[in-house]
Amino acid sequence: MKNNTPMPVIYTIGETIYDIIFDHGQPKAARPGGSMLNTAVSLGRCGLHVEMITELGQDMVGQTILEFLVSNGVSTSFVKPVEGLKTPVALAFLNEQANADYSFYIKYPENRLNFTWPEPKKSDIVLFGAFYSLDPAIRQKIAGFVEKAKQNGAFIMYDPNIRKNHLGEVRKLMDFVEENFALADIVRGSDEDFENLFGITDGKKVFDRTRKSGCKYLIYTRAGKGAEFFSDNFHLHVPAGKIKVVSTIGAGDTFNAGIIYGLVARRLTNSDLAPISPGTWKEIINSGVFFASDVCQSYDNYISVECGKMVHG
> Quick one: which of 76, 6, 7 has its CA closest to 41?
76
Interval 81-127: pLDDT, tens: 888 899 999 999 999 988 888 899 999 998 899 999 999 999 899 99
The rounded distance, in Å, linking the Cα atoms of 133 and 159 is 10
Q: pLDDT 10s digit of each residue in the chain, 313 long?
A: 455 667 899 999 999 999 999 999 999 999 999 999 999 999 999 999 999 999 999 999 999 999 999 999 999 999 988 888 999 999 999 999 888 888 999 999 988 999 999 999 998 999 999 999 999 999 999 999 999 999 999 999 999 998 777 778 888 899 999 999 999 999 999 999 999 999 999 999 999 999 999 999 999 999 989 999 999 999 999 999 889 999 999 999 999 999 999 999 999 988 899 899 999 999 999 999 999 999 999 999 999 999 999 987 6
The rounded distance, in Å, linking the Cα atoms of 223 and 173 is 26
- Please report the pLDDT score of residue 206 as a whole number: 96
- Sign for the pseudo-dihedral over CA of 302, 104, 182, 123: negative
Predicted model pTM: 0.95
- Please report the pLDDT score of residue 4 as a whole number: 66
- Please report the pLDDT score of residue 16 as a whole number: 95
Our measurement of the distance from residue 191's CA atom to the centroid of its chain's CA atoms, rounded to an integer in Å, reads 15
Domains of the chain from N-terminus onward: 10-312 (3.40.1190.20)
Neighbours of 31 (CB within 10 A): 23
The rounded distance, in Å, linking the Cα atoms of 217 and 274 is 9
- Please report the pLDDT score of residue 213 as a whole number: 92
The rounded distance, in Å, linking the Cα atoms of 302 and 299 is 9
